[in-house]
Amino acid sequence: MGMERTIKRAFLTACSLALGFVVALWIWPGRYGQRSVCSRCGLERWESEIHFGQLKTSLGRAFQDETNAVSAMLMNHPIISGHQHDWIGASGSGGGGIWFSKGVGPGRHLWQAVRSTNVANFLAELASARDTNSLLVWRDRLLNPRQSQDAWFAILTAENERSGGRTLVEAAEEEFRNSQLPGH
């Protein structure tokens, strides 16, 4: 009878430990982070939140805005400065507990464009030429998740493919139009 009692006690202890381990994993504090890009000025934002695992009970949230080459140029332009930010998620990670997930949002292409000094120089050239309409058109292209990659690539390609006396803006415009043709 003593042996049965010892086995039963060991079994209950093992079950209690296993259940405690599962509960601990379920509520273990985790960190979630997301990088976003403003679709109006290109400013980057890192948002970090600590929460209890799968319960999603927040322990706190912090934001950090980071200026990059494009946002520094755009935020100094009178037409674009002074606006409400419109954040588009670029990437995220975390999920709490031991579970890890990574998300890639529609803003991932914006992130590539706003960090490019080539793009910032191109926009600065438009601004210095006082070509506000083209500046806004290219800003909208570069900060639109559906067009950003094509616009960024058009600028980079135009820098290398200028010929026939075309300006950088003319070459980029042609490259962008070609990228929008069916089959691209």
One digit per residue, pLDDT tens: the chain, 184 residues? Answer: 577 888 888 888 888 877 777 766 666 666 678 888 998 899 999 888 777 666 666 777 888 999 999 999 888 888 777 788 999 888 777 654 444 445 567 777 788 888 899 999 999 988 888 878 889 999 999 999 889 999 999 999 988 876 677 888 888 999 999 888 775 5
DSSP one-letter string for the chain: -HHHHHHHHHHHHHHHHHHHHHHHHHH-EEEEEEEEEETTT--EEEEEEEEEGGGTEEEEEEEEEE--HHHHHHHTSTTTSS----EEEEEEEE-STT--EEEE-TTHHHHHHHT-HHHHHHHHHHHHTT-HHHHHHHHHHHTSTTTHHHHHHHHHHHHHH--TT--HHHHHHHHHHHHTSTT-
The answer to whether residue 184 sits within a structural domain is no
Q: In the chain, how many domains are there? A: 1
The answer to whether residue 106 sits within a structural domain is yes
Whether the full predicted model's pTM is greater than 0.75, yes or no, is no
The answer to whether residue 54 sits within a structural domain is yes
The answer to whether residue 113 sits within a structural domain is yes
Domain housing 152: 2-179
